[in-house]
Chain A
Amino acid sequence: GQNIDQPTEMTATEGAIVQINCTYQTSGFNGLFWYQQHAGEAPTFLSYNVLDGLEEKGRFSSFLSRSKGYSYLLLKELQMKDSASYLCAVRDTTGANNLFFGTGTRLTVIP
């Protein structure tokens, strides 16, 4: 089975840094994805980790520790447009490209 946990809501200030955590327990692991989803819109890809460590992409970074079943998404220099839900998803090892999603973290950026 799959169990993926994220905080439900977070609030941060424009210009600040925020870290969104994700813990997972899965029967198989073949990569972890982070997506951004604005209200009523489709999820869009942010980052991918399959090995331990930090992946950096501009203002966004994602970290993975496979031994701890833990990942985080780090957003720097927050902008108002970063207000959105952030979805953590784990890919299983069945051979298909199936993703299992957490319930998402709704981030509100305040001035």
Chain B
Amino acid sequence: EAQVTQNPRYLITVTGKKLTVTCSQNMNHEYMSWYRQDPGLGLRQIYYSMNVEVTDKGDVPEGYKVSRKEKRNFPLILESPSPNQTSLYFCASSPYRAGQETQYFGPGTRLLVL
């Protein structure tokens, strides 16, 4: 089954404790992206990657890191989480070429930083 998976789905942590949210896709997509979703603000892009070893900042990259060592994986790293990073996070993937190819979203990770 073609899908994007994220782990963990739910996470409660404390300020300053490093964490990683994993994202994996099995569709051989070149493009992957991380979003956060907050009430009243919609989906905002954190980082994206157009292929292995190619990453770039989105609209809200502060406090986050990413890596793309393999095509299928695109982990999101919070080196020192803060309460303002409490949010619902989505990973998405798509083929790189523009067209009517949509982005496929993972199920989401709900993060609470105390």
Whether the Cβ atoms of A103 and B31 lie closer than 8 Å is no
Question: Which of B96, B101, B105 sits near A43, CB closer than 8 Å?
Answer: B105
C-alpha spacing A30/B96, complex, angstroms: 14
Category for how many chain A residues contact B: 20 to 34
* Chain A residues within 8 Å of B35, by CB: 101
Mask of B76-114 contacts with A, CB within 8 angstroms, 1/0: 000000000000101000111110111111111010000
Whether the Cβ atoms of A96 and B108 lie closer than 8 Å is no
C-alpha spacing A40/B10, complex, angstroms: 12
CB distance from B26 to the nearest CB of A (A): 16
* Chain A residues within 8 Å of B45, by CB: 98-100
Q: 9 smallest A-B Cβ distances: which pairs?
A: A103-B42, A42-B105, A45-B102, A101-B43, A48-B100, A97-B31, A101-B42, A97-B94, A43-B105
Q: List 14 A-B contacts (CB under 8 A).
A: A42-B90, A42-B105, A48-B100, A89-B43, A96-B31, A96-B48, A96-B50, A96-B96, A97-B98, A100-B45, A101-B35, A101-B43, A102-B42, A103-B40
